[in-house]
Amino acid sequence: QVQLQESGPGLVKPSQTLSLTCTVSGGSISSGDYYWSWIRQPPGKGLEWIGYIYYSGSTYYNPSLKSRVTISVDTSKNQFSLKLSSVTAADTAVYYCARETVVTDAFDIWGQGTMVTVSS
Amino acid sequence: EIVLTQSPATLSLSPGERATLSCRASQSVSSYLAWYQQKPGQAPRLLIYDASNRATGIPARFSGSGSGTDFTLTISSLEPEDFAVYYCQQRRTFGPGTKVDIK
């Protein structure tokens, strides 16, 4: 079955760029049936959608984060990546990658999540 | 932008009891609403999509209903593993969550 796995640094300094990668296994990221999303959850708080990428490379970002977010895809490696620039302590969160079904808009598969702390 | 409101914030119940969770949208979303369960230290798990369709592997005690602006997630008889936080979601917006804890 399809699995997602996040990877990247767990500690980022303020003002620097957070970079994470999600590796998709058990299925192809090139399927037209899905969007590939990043979602985050600050400690003790709710879920915030960051943005998605389609296999074609088209993207859509949360307007509140749009100026700082870049999501890219590498279909040859079956991976997609997140870059969040100019981070502050408010960006400290568990970051999840997730698969969103185009037809239902539901996030049916999630990675386990990776904790990223912004601190000097 | 659609805003989702969930109530109650916390629901204290005993195993075997029925749980009824509410999600209200600030404008009509037709039937495009999903529900998730999240346990501490785990990723959310999809329970219901399109308001009333159970996701793969989800037990029949979980059911969803509603359309337009008002939606309900019902757990017919709480099992010990059902005590968790539940989120509703429409497109890329999540509700604030309802915590179901043990009374």
Q: Specify the pairing of strand B85-90 against strand B70-75.
A: unpaired
A42: number of Cβ within 10 Å: 14
Rounded Cα gap, residues A113 and B38, in angstroms: 12
Q: Let me know: does A16 contact A87? Beta carbons within 8 Å.
A: yes
For the segment B71-75, the average pLDDT, to the nearest whole number, is: 98
Comparing CB atoms, the residue among B43, B45, B46 nearest residue A113 is B43
B53 — pLDDT class (breaks 50, 70, 90): very high
Rounded Cα gap, residues A45 and B61, in angstroms: 27
B48 — pLDDT class (breaks 50, 70, 90): very high
Interchain proximity B87–A113, CB inside 8 Å: no
Interface of A with B in 36-55 (CB under 8 A): 37, 46-49, 52
For the segment B83-90, the average pLDDT, to the nearest whole number, is: 98
Residue identified by tokens 């309900």 is: B72
Residue B62 to chain A, least CA–CA distance (Å) = 16
Residue A108: predicted pLDDT = 97
Residue A31: predicted pLDDT = 87
How many inter-chain contacts (A to B, CB under 8 Å) are there?
50
- For the segment B6-41, what is each residue's pLDDT rounded down to a tens digit? 999 999 999 999 999 999 999 999 999 999 999 999
> What does the block give as tokens for B42?
């785990």
Residue identified by tokens 């497109």 is: B91
Q: Which residues pair with A48 in a beta bridge?
A: A40
- For the segment A25-58, what is each residue's pLDDT rounded down to a tens digit? 999 999 899 999 999 999 999 999 999 999 999 9
Q: Which residues of B touch A111 (CB under 8 A)?
A: 43
Rounded Cα gap, residues B39 and B85, in angstroms: 6
Rounded Cα gap, residues A63 and B34, in angstroms: 22
Residue A46 to chain B, least CA–CA distance (Å) = 6
For the segment B74-101, the average pLDDT, to the nearest whole number, is: 97
The shares of helix, strand and coil residues in chain A, as percent rounded to the nearest 5, are: 5, 50, 45
As a whole number, the mean pLDDT across chain B is 97
Residue B57 to chain A, least CA–CA distance (Å) = 12
- For the segment A45-95, what is each residue's pLDDT rounded down to a tens digit? 999 999 999 999 999 999 999 999 999 999 999 999 999 999 999 999 999
CA trace torsion A74, A75, A76, A77 (10° rounding): 60
Q: Which residue of A has its CA nearest to B54?
A: A108
**B62 CB within 8 Å of a chain A CB:** no
